[in-house]
Amino acid sequence: MTPDPAATPDHWGFVVAAYGLAAIVLGGYWRRLVRLEREATAKHDRRPAPPGTATPR
Amino acid sequence: MWFSTGRRGLTGVLGWLAALGLLAGLGLALGVAPREVSQGNVQRIMYLHVPSILTAYLAFAIVLVASLGYLVSRRQAWDHWAGSAAELGTVFTGLTLASGSLWGKPTWGTWWTWDARLTSTAVMFVTYVAYLMLRGMIDEAERRAQFAAVLGIVAALNLPLVHFSVLWWRTLHQPPTLLRPVPAALAGIFRLTLGVNWAAFTLLFAYLLAKRIRVGRLSEEGLP
């Protein structure tokens, strides 16, 4: 027997909570990576050039 | 390979493709796909839950291959791949557990039960958290890569157990929808929605992995 659709509760709250949580977790992780990449690039660019490769003024 | 050589343009394209895929997947999951007859709207969580665990499997398979690659070649690039994939796999496993719990409460009447699938997934999550902690505890790059590679291989032994637990034991969790010996009978729109979300999650994973590998490589090169 096919259940009556009206008899099954909506449960949209659980659906929104699941998708909202995923958005927060994945969005937060992405933002963290962007920040780490910016910091690492800045640190990488500030490194002193290896001996013999410096451009003379 | 462009993943590890810092080709930011290609990574950006991957990011945009992932974003478009996720938007399409979200539209299908919450708008186009019909309300499932027996579970109601809560079944829509499956379009998030199933792609999450499949992405986690992919991530942990990469950890296994990269760990073997490191032990054979001793090249640091393999270790960057393993560490980055493990971090992402842990994030996606966490999402799987959380979304499964949010689906389980209205469907089973409980947030959590110690059945074979849930328990083995929780063990997998804790194992990779331990893997990441191990990596964080060792400063010397070569020793860290060596210990992590061994744990990365041992941890992968649990993967078949997680996936096939629902076929090997009697569990509350239903059998797998995808990656099963006999394909499941799934109506077209449900299959399409699941497929689009799976593809979008895979693209997102590839994008985040490329970014994470780049961060790891730049951090290591930036060390004094």
Nearest to B48 among A3, A8, A18 (CB): A18
**How far, in Å, CA of B140 to CA of B137, rounded?**
9
Interface predicted TM-score (ipTM) over 0.90: no
Query: What is the spatial distance between Cα A28 and Cα A19, in angstroms, rounded to a whole number?
Result: 14
Write phi, then psi, for A30 (nearest 5 degrees): -65, -45
- Any idea where the domains of chain B sit in the sequence? 2-221
The pLDDT value given to residue A19: 97
Three-state secondary structure call for residue A10: coil
Kindly report the nearest CA distance between residue A57 and chain B, in angstroms. 25
- B106-129 per-position pLDDT tens digit: 999 999 999 889 999 999 999 999
CA dist., res. B181 & res. B179, Å (int) = 7
Indicate which of A11, A16, A31 best probes the interface with B, i.e. most B CBs within 10 Å of its own CB.
A11
Q: Do B45 and A15 make contact, defined as CB atoms within 8 angstroms? A: yes
CATH number of the domain located at residue range(s) B2-221 in this protein? 1.20.120
Give per-residue pLDDT as tens, B16-48: 999 999 999 999 999 998 888 888 899 999 999
The 3-class secondary structure across A31-57, one letter per residue, is HHHHHHHHHHHHHHHHCCCCCCCCCCC
pTM of structure: 0.88
Find the closest chain B residue to A28 by CA distance. Answer: B91
